[in-house]
Structure 1
Amino acid sequence: MKNFMVDQSLKELTEHRTVVLPIACYETTINQNINGYIPLHWHDEFQFVLIVKGEAIFQINEENITVQEGEGLFINSGCLHMAKDKNDSDCAYICLNVSPGFVLSQELYTTHVNPYMQATNIPFLLLEPKELWAKNILDSIMKINQLIKQNPPYFEIDISLHLTLIWKNLIINGIELEYEQTEVTKSHRMKQMLNWIHLHYPEKILLEDIARAGQLSRSECCRYFKRMLKKTPLNYVTDFRIQKSLMLLQQPESNVTDVAYQVDFNSTSYFIDKFRKSMNMTPLAYKKYKNTSPFVK
């Protein structure tokens, strides 16, 4: 998956369905993404990750965590997350996304699935193979990936069985569920501000505009971004504009000056400077590289 599509609210647009079941299971190499990393996004599906090569730094909501080869992650529904390669390790992982309503039967969903979706103290769980429950989950992720590749008779039933095993092992680790309305409100406000930026990035944006979208003061808005994204709101705007410029630069007829203005840089030289700091190359060099790279699309 080279081009990672999200909507204005950062909700992933990828269709999470690779078989007749409401799941997707695929292998991805982080640095082959158009951005060179997996950008910030969220989705309604649960996500299970198994690192098969290298190591990655995942950010889930406010927390950063390093995940090494052989380890994995459970990322809860609706949580903002992103991933970057660590130490140029050419990190690759299997990603399993599954609709919460498909994990267990409808009769068991209310009791055994929904409480975990709502729990604010489980944005993610690190899956370490030294823990038996986690090893069982990682093994099932691998088996589901193999089943989809091999397509044996009745493989959909086998996938359903492995999903049941995954969920049983996840809940038997004994974590105490907690629910805090303040955490829900924080997440909602952050998504509102990000959504506003993604709708208005081609326009002039002031800190007051972003804060108003989240119903916050300017200082509280800055605290949200520092805590969640480790950068200021306006630095995030600049980074997002650079991200949006990548697709534009890949169009054969585009030129650097036009792209700069399309993403609301009112100076080509300023755009080039910010682009170089973000991507370690100039926009023109990036354009030429993508025109000759096998990973253009």
Structure 2
Amino acid sequence: MNTISAAKNISPENIAFNDPDYPIYVRRDLLSTYPHYAAPSHWHDEVEFITVFSGKMDYNINGEVYSLKEGEGIFVNSRQMHFGFSQQTECDFVCVILHPMLLCSSAVMNKGYISPLIENQALPCLKFSRKESWHLQVIEQLKYIYQIKDTPAAPLKIQAAFGFVWALLFEHMPASYRPKRNSDENLSIVKKMVYFIQLNYMEKISLGDIARAGTVGESKCCRLFRDYLGQTPNAYLTAYRLNKSRESLGSTDMSIAEIAVEVGFCGASYYAETFR
């Protein structure tokens, strides 16, 4: 039976932290392990850093695409829609996701140094190049975080490195500004529709269902997905289902046919064809 859930409140993605006691996620990955070399668009309260070890990839943040190559990286601020992808080219990268609460030793610290950065509307993201000396410092700290993630007292070492990186970001952040109201509202609508898909991907979902989640017509729904995600609503739905199946393939004894049905595909043959 179809039991589609309404997205009454928009919730960010829950991160599978390395240790459930600390809001720290550090992982090295290959883009080829994602279906069609693309992760699904998502957002979360934590800030995210990507650094490329080899190859290249593109990063879509709120509809803006940034090209990253070896030695470069990017910072994604809190609650920004983002995903990495490439045109079937490999990329070896490290993803570091950290919650700003790691640096909130007091309310004064939060008010003076944390909130001004995560709430800065002029800083949804920042690309790190090899031309800026302070950018190179950030990239070195990210590599260091990856290297020590499994060592004794890793959370303390990572917290210290995070504090150093945050200070650099704070010192160089642009003046804040209020975005155009229309742009702000459109991003909120996209988040509602994406969250609806994330809640109901295992069910049969129509374009009309997705559009209604954002309280917009189908044509505007398609336009917003194109502008912010660079794909159609149905393409995002398929990509999200594929990514959920990828998670299940490595953590369950279910057959491929069972996984296909579990994530919303109508059958194993269509799932296999889509996954390739």
TM-score range for the pair, normalised by the shorter chain length: 0.7 to 0.9
CA positional deviation for 1:167: 1.1
Mark the structure with the bigger radius of gyration.
Answer: 1
**2:142 corresponding residue in structure 1:** 141
Whether the aligned pair in 1 keeps the contact of 2:39 and 2:84 (CA below 8 Å) is yes
**Identity within the alignment, %:** 26
CA positional deviation for 1:221: 1.4
1:124 aligns with 2:120: no
Counterpart code for 2:93: Y
Whether the aligned pair in 1 keeps the contact of 2:49 and 2:74 (CA below 8 Å) is yes
**1:212 corresponding residue in structure 2:** 212
CA positional deviation for 1:198: 3.1
CA positional deviation for 1:133: 1.9
Counterpart code for 2:29: T
Question: Using CA pairs below 8 Å that are at least 6 residues apart, which structure has the higher relative contact order?
Answer: 2
Counterpart code for 2:187: S
CA positional deviation for 1:261: 5.7
The gaps in structure 1 that reach 5 residues or longer are: 1-7, 281-297
The residue correspondences of 1:226-241 to structure 2 (distance < 5 A) are 226-241=226-241
The residue correspondences of 1:4-15 to structure 2 (distance < 5 A) are 11-15=12-16
Q: Distance in 1 between matches of 2:253 and 2:262?
A: 16
**2:193 corresponding residue in structure 1:** 193
Q: Distance in 1 between matches of 2:163 and 2:259?
A: 48
Q: Distance in 2 between matches of 1:92 and 1:205?
A: 34
Aligned residue pairs, count: 265
CA positional deviation for 1:263: 5.4
Whether the aligned pair in 2 keeps the contact of 1:50 and 1:70 (CA below 8 Å) is yes
For the aligned residue pairs, the C-alpha RMSD in angstroms reads 3.2
**1:41 corresponding residue in structure 2:** 42
CA positional deviation for 1:127: 0.7
Q: Distance in 2 between matches of 1:235 and 1:102?
A: 36
SS where residue 122 of structure 2 aligns? coil
Distance 1:48 1:192, change over 3 A: same
Distance 1:188 1:109, change over 3 A: same
Whether the aligned pair in 1 keeps the contact of 2:44 and 2:80 (CA below 8 Å) is yes
Counterpart code for 2:163: T
**1:295 corresponding residue in structure 2:** none
Distance 1:179 1:113, change over 3 A: farther
Deviation per CA, 1:70-123, whole angstroms, max 9, x where unpaired? 11110111112212245533x222222111122354322212221222223322
The gaps in structure 2 that reach 5 residues or longer are: 1-6
Whether the aligned pair in 1 keeps the contact of 2:59 and 2:85 (CA below 8 Å) is yes
Counterpart code for 2:158: I
Counterpart code for 2:110: Y
Q: TM-score, normalised by structure 1?
A: 0.74
**2:3 corresponding residue in structure 1:** none
Distance 1:122 1:272, change over 3 A: farther
Greater mean deviation of Cα atoms: 197-206 or 105-114:
197-206
CA positional deviation for 1:68: 0.9
Counterpart code for 2:167: K
1:279 aligns with 2:275: yes
CA positional deviation for 1:155: 5.6
SS where residue 198 of structure 2 aligns? helix
CA positional deviation for 1:245: 5.1
